[in-house]
Amino acid sequence: MIRFLDRSGLLSSWVRITIAVVGLGATFALAGTMIACAGNAQGDLMAVAAARGISPDDAVRALKSFVPPGGKDDYLLFASGGHSGQVFVVGLPSMRLLRMIAVFTPEPWQGYGYGSDWSEAALAGASPGKETIRWGDSHHPALSETDGDYDGRWLYINDRAHGRIAMVDLKDFRTKQILPVPNLQTSHGGVFITPDSKYVHISSMVPALKHWDPKVGASVTVDDHLNRYDEIYRGYSTFLKIDQETGRMVVEDSFQIELPPYTQDLADAGKGPSYGYAFINSYNSERATGGVNFGRPPLEAGASEYDFDFMHIINWQKAEEVIAAGKFDVVNGIRLISLETAVEESLIHLLPEPKSPHGVDVAPNGNYLTVSGKLDPHVTVYGFDKILAAIEAEDFEGTDDYGIPIIRFDAAVAGQVEVGAGPLHSQYDNEGYGYTSLFLESAVAKWSLGEPYHSGDAAWQLVDKLPVHYNIGHLATAHGDTMNPRGGYLVALNKWSIDRFTNVGPLLPQNFQLVDLSGETMDLLYDMPIGVGEPHYAQIVSADVVNPEQVYPLGTSAMTGERSPDAIDGGDQARIDHRPGVTEVWMTAIRSQYAPDVVPIKLGDHVIIHLTNIEQALDATHGFSIPGKNIMVSIDAGETITIEFEADTPGSFSFYCTEFCSALHLEMQGWLIVEEN
């Protein structure tokens, strides 16, 4: 046993530990404070730490991320769920999973895709082709913005597997719209929102057959694919107009720009001085076709042949003028500016970027654009002022095969920083530092931007590096995609967890790691396993910005946000209407009964049930499920939902509430009696 002095110099007689001495000062100061107001907690801090084998440093880290029971988090992280098709909402710094939001995939807990009118409406028309699509690969969330900062209204997220984008209404954390984007077959990281939420952007990933309509298909041969790739495929940049009232994307008011058949990847919005521009990375400018079985190099090799790929610089404000001048065709229901017109009108310029880039990330001041080629150890930072000057001076190194001018690389570069192996994605803090994920190195690099953030020798320097576990993809900082980043925390989205958790394999969770940015050097605070999907991208928003409805005003339809014409206010208004071929029911749910609870139905009837949860208490959600039917709805307090189904089997069917809502929850049930005529 050793006795120590704490920082105030007083002898702390309660401190009796047998662990290493180094770095203990701060811990003890903290521990002293904790003890002074420790209430009834059992045991003293350091003794507990020692007994559990937790080092003093880890004890400090625990305190930095711990949110006490009943305490609230400072930030919300919205992360994509990958091929689970969902979105996860995680509190920071506690790293507690607060919500999952079903987006592209039916999910029964939220009653999503199992009969509720609002979810069926979102999912209807969500299938781009002939087959009903029941899954998606959610990748890149974009929170809506006002004046270049998150405003907590809506969240947009794309489906990597299909060219789709969804809108989640943050008033009730529900998916309200899924849009298969015309002409796209796939999409990737081309999702961003303009700083005023005028447009949400989505671009194609793998180029699609020109003017592709998945419902019709197109005639194509292997020979076309291998030898006419340049001609028959195209990429697309899409500006979807956002309805400022509802957050819905309105295709008729939107437009698209045809791009060369490169593989368009991540994108970002111009802001401040670069407002009105879009920046889209691409790879496979080689246009490798694959076809190892046809004597071609594998795609991976073919697509990595050139030293440079192209960033697309798109002047979308100018494109708006081109649209206004009528220089477009309507293709598959959207106004499309052809590649020829785009070149003629100088809407697009290309900028060489090092090997196989992934992210392009505009700095908070709107002038710097960071890209990193996964096969180049540097981040390359372009200056938007330099880009504009080069365009003005026509400082080009030629054009690509489609006639798009290529800006001279050296004319646009503001700085380069050697950060390490496999740089992938960058975010920023509020002090002029960039943070770049290093996939190959499994690390995060912190580096300094140039003027006006840092000058002289302090600019363009690698200042810190932190190992993460393992194979980091993207990273997120607080308000990191905005003009007003907050610093403080960073979350590393790691692809592999390997040995970090108790083995539940062979399929192992992904690993979110919380990093403290408040000190001189980055410090790893916490590991959070994600065992329900593969997150790709995330955004962190201050918790006070997001203010969802806690209880719907009585009778609200989640579809319209307004009172449903079929809402009723109490069990005394409940009724059943029989007419030829139809049974229609107006039903209420309240702890712990449905009214009516015995519903006679004629065999063969089309059944419509309008169900109002007449509760106005926080968290008083009820469920409604029918055996043998894919009906499982969740009705939040105050909500009215309509479900419809066919009574095709005679018998007695007991429905019940799926939420444990009260002491008499098990009694919350009823019967549908389907009578033969």
Nearer to ligand RUQ, 335 or 374 (CB): 374
> Taking a C-beta distance cutoff of 8 angstroms, is the pair 191, 156 a contact?
yes
Q: Which residue has 């009823």 as its token pair?
A: 670
Query: Which partner, ligand CUA, ligand RUQ, none, binds residue 602 by CB below 5 to 8 Å per kind?
Result: none
Count of residues that interact with ligand CUA, criterion CB under 6 A: 8
Rounded least distance, CB 347 to ligand RUQ, Å: 26
Query: Which partner, ligand RUQ, ligand CUA, none, binds residue 479 by CB below 5 to 8 Å per kind?
Result: none
Measured CA to CA, the distance from residue 53 to residue 198 in angstroms comes to 53
3-state secondary structure of 228: coil
Nearer to ligand RUQ, 474 or 591 (CB): 474
Nearest to 149 by CA among 434, 370, 479: 479
Site string for ligand CUA, 105-134 (x = CB under 6 A): ------------------------------
| Helix locations, 555-614, DSSP H | none
Tokens of residue 444, six digits: 């995060």
Measured CA to CA, the distance from residue 667 to residue 649 in angstroms comes to 25
Nearer to ligand CUA, 84 or 634 (CB): 634
Q: Are strands 192-193 and 174-180 parallel, antiparallel or unpaired?
A: unpaired
Nearest to 431 by CA among 514, 500, 490, 473: 490
Using the contact rule CB under 6 A, the part of the chain among 284-292, 502-510, 642-650, 654-662 near ligand CUA is 654-662
Rounded least distance, CB 590 to ligand CUA, Å: 8
Rounded least distance, CB 116 to ligand CUA, Å: 16
Q: Are strands 249-259 and 334-337 parallel, antiparallel or unpaired?
A: parallel
Contact status: 657 vs ligand CUA (CB under 6 A): yes
Rounded least distance, CB 284 to ligand RUQ, Å: 15
Per-residue H/E/C for 300-322: HHHCCCCCEEEEEEEEHHHHHHH
Choice from 528, 659, 670, 674 touching ligand CUA (CB under 6 A): 659
Tokens of residue 4, six digits: 């120590």
Contacts of 58 (CB under 8 A, 6+ apart): 49
Contact status: 674 vs ligand CUA (CB under 6 A): no
Query: Which partner, ligand RUQ, ligand CUA, none, binds residue 473 by CB below 5 to 8 Å per kind?
Result: ligand RUQ
Tell me how far CA of residue 235 lies from CA of 330, 336, 353, in angstroms: 16, 12, 18
Query: Which partner, ligand CUA, ligand RUQ, none, binds residue 188 by CB below 5 to 8 Å per kind?
Result: ligand RUQ
Nearer to ligand RUQ, 312 or 474 (CB): 474
Query: Which partner, ligand RUQ, ligand CUA, none, binds residue 140 by CB below 5 to 8 Å per kind?
Result: ligand RUQ
Rounded least distance, CB 74 to ligand CUA, Å: 33
Tell me how far CA of residue 294 lies from CA of 305, 407, 451, in angstroms: 19, 36, 52
Q: How many residues does the chain have?
A: 677
Query: Which partner, ligand RUQ, ligand CUA, none, binds residue 668 by CB below 5 to 8 Å per kind?
Result: ligand CUA
Measured CA to CA, the distance from residue 80 to residue 96 in angstroms comes to 16
Query: Which partner, ligand CUA, ligand RUQ, none, binds residue 474 by CB below 5 to 8 Å per kind?
Result: ligand RUQ
Contact status: 468 vs ligand CUA (CB under 6 A): no
Rounded least distance, CB 651 to ligand CUA, Å: 23
Measured CA to CA, the distance from residue 207 to residue 85 in angstroms comes to 22
Q: Which residue has 């449903």 as its token pair?
A: 564
Residue 52 CB-density burial (10 A; 0-12 exposed, 13-18 middle, 19+ buried) = exposed
> Taking a C-beta distance cutoff of 8 angstroms, is the pair 350, 406 a contact?
yes
> Taking a C-beta distance cutoff of 8 angstroms, is the pair 307, 338 a contact?
no
Contact status: 622 vs ligand CUA (CB under 6 A): yes
Helix (H) or strand (E) segment spanning residue 382: strand 378-383
Rounded least distance, CB 599 to ligand CUA, Å: 17
Using the contact rule CB under 6 A, the part of the chain among 109-117, 410-418, 559-567, 659-667 near ligand CUA is 659-667
Query: Which partner, ligand RUQ, ligand CUA, none, binds residue 657 by CB below 5 to 8 Å per kind?
Result: ligand CUA
Using the contact rule CB under 6 A, the part of the chain among 234-242, 460-468, 505-513, 657-665 near ligand CUA is 657-665
Nearest to 3 by CA among 24, 14, 244: 14
Query: Which partner, ligand RUQ, ligand CUA, none, binds residue 446 by CB below 5 to 8 Å per kind?
Result: none
Choice from 202, 661, 672, 674 touching ligand CUA (CB under 6 A): 661
Which residues sit at the interface with ligand RUQ, rule CB under 6 A? Answer: 139-140, 160, 188-189, 358, 473-474, 536-537
Rounded least distance, CB 80 to ligand RUQ, Å: 8
Contact status: 454 vs ligand CUA (CB under 6 A): no
3-state secondary structure of 178: strand
Using the contact rule CB under 6 A, the part of the chain among 273-281, 414-422, 442-450, 661-669 near ligand CUA is 661-669
Tokens of residue 646, six digits: 């066919």
Contact status: 669 vs ligand CUA (CB under 6 A): no
Nearer to ligand RUQ, 148 or 434 (CB): 434
Choice from 101, 123, 633, 668 touching ligand CUA (CB under 6 A): 668
Residue 10 CB-density burial (10 A; 0-12 exposed, 13-18 middle, 19+ buried) = exposed
Contact status: 665 vs ligand CUA (CB under 6 A): yes
Nearest to 481 by CA among 541, 431, 563, 529: 541
* Interacting residues with ligand CUA (CB under 6 A): 592, 622, 657, 659-661, 665, 668
